[in-house]
Amino acid sequence: MMDFFSYLSGDYKPLSFDTRTILVMNSKGGSGKTTLATNLASYYATKKFPVVLADFDPQGSSMAWLEARPEERPPIRGLAAWRDGLRVPKPTRVAILDVPSGLHHRQLAKVLAHAHTVVIPVLPSPIDIRAAGDFIDELLQTHEHAGLRSKLALVANRARENTHAYQHLEAFLSGLTLPFIATLREHSNYLTAADRGIGLFEMAPSAVATDLEQWQPLVRWLHSKRSLPIGS
């Protein structure tokens, strides 16, 4: 059996760089990694891309979401990657990786080496902001050391506009060298989607209009060259 750490340290040949690979990661639990990963997988599925959702978190939240997914919805292939490694079936156009906290140094470098793009959700709280600062520093150092080229971006999650906490987060994210791409509000639509195994892109447009609008900058960025390593 291949666990996450043997996958990271072993010689198992995982993903090819031909598959568009998007990591969702942050050092903090609860920041919205699974929420972003599942909604991104749903987005690409609705666009008819063969998509894999690889869950590296032993808690298996992304896999649980997929289990709840109704059969008639556009298919998403799930991989319990924390247990089985990353065996991506053909043809996979897009792989979304839900990556847990607690990776450092070589393991971090190894998982980043497979990524075109890294999306980092951050919550509006002092503890989350501080932790995100440390995490991003480490990420950038690892990037530099290992000569990695993946593109990183920040997303503010569970925003409540006009709150002090959100203003603080916005100031923090705007002051970093990484692009601050989108702000997603806190809303029960995310809970409904999580519960039903679907994404916002599959819900009644009238109910999610504001949320879809907030996802637009992220989706646009992911479709643009700005989110791809130079030369890929």
Stretch that binds ligand ADP, among 12-20, 81-89, 189-197, 221-229 (CB under 6 A): 189-197
Q: Quick check: 32 and 185 in contact, CB under 8 A?
A: no
For residue 91, is the peptide bond before it cis, meaning its omega torsion is within 30 degrees of 0?
yes
- By a kind-dependent CB cut-off of 5 to 8 A, residue 187 interacts, out of ligand ADP, Mg ion, none, with ligand ADP
Going through 50-129 in order, the beta strands assigned E by DSSP cover 51-55, 77-79, 94-98, 117-122
Considering beta carbons, is residue 34 or 39 the nearer one to Mg ion?
A: 34
Q: Quick check: 160 and 127 in contact, CB under 8 A?
A: no
- Is residue 180 within the footprint of ligand ADP (CB under 6 A)? no
- Please report, for residues 34, 94, 161, 215, 232, the alpha-carbon distance to residue 220 in angstroms, rounded to integers and kept in the order given: 20, 15, 22, 9, 18
- Is residue 35 within the footprint of Mg ion (CB under 5 A)? no
Q: How far apart are CA 89 and CA 156, in angstroms?
A: 32
- Is residue 183 within the footprint of ligand ADP (CB under 6 A)? no
Q: Quick check: 63 and 88 in contact, CB under 8 A?
A: no
Site for Mg ion in 42-61 (CB under 5 A): 61
Stretch that binds Mg ion, among 29-37, 43-51, 89-97, 121-129 (CB under 5 A): 29-37
- As measured in angstroms, the least distance from the Cβ of 32 to ligand ADP is 4
- DSSP single-letter state for residue 74: P
If one counts every other C-beta atom within 10 angstroms of the C-beta of residue 204, the result is 8
- As measured in angstroms, the least distance from the Cβ of 33 to ligand ADP is 3
Q: How far apart are CA 78 and CA 167, in angstroms?
A: 36
- Is residue 199 within the footprint of ligand ADP (CB under 6 A)? no
- Is residue 32 within the footprint of ligand ADP (CB under 6 A)? yes
Q: Which residues contact 220 (CB under 8 A, 6 or more apart)?
A: none
Q: Which member of 19, 34, 39, 117 binds Mg ion (CB under 5 A)?
A: 34
- As measured in angstroms, the least distance from the Cβ of 42 to ligand ADP is 13
- Is residue 40 within the footprint of ligand ADP (CB under 6 A)? no
Q: Which member of 10, 29, 58, 126 binds ligand ADP (CB under 6 A)?
A: 29
> Which residue has its beta carbon closest to Mg ion?
34
Chain positions contacting ligand ADP, by CB under 6 A? 29-35, 61, 157-158, 184, 186-187, 190-191, 194
Chain positions contacting Mg ion, by CB under 5 A? 33-34, 61
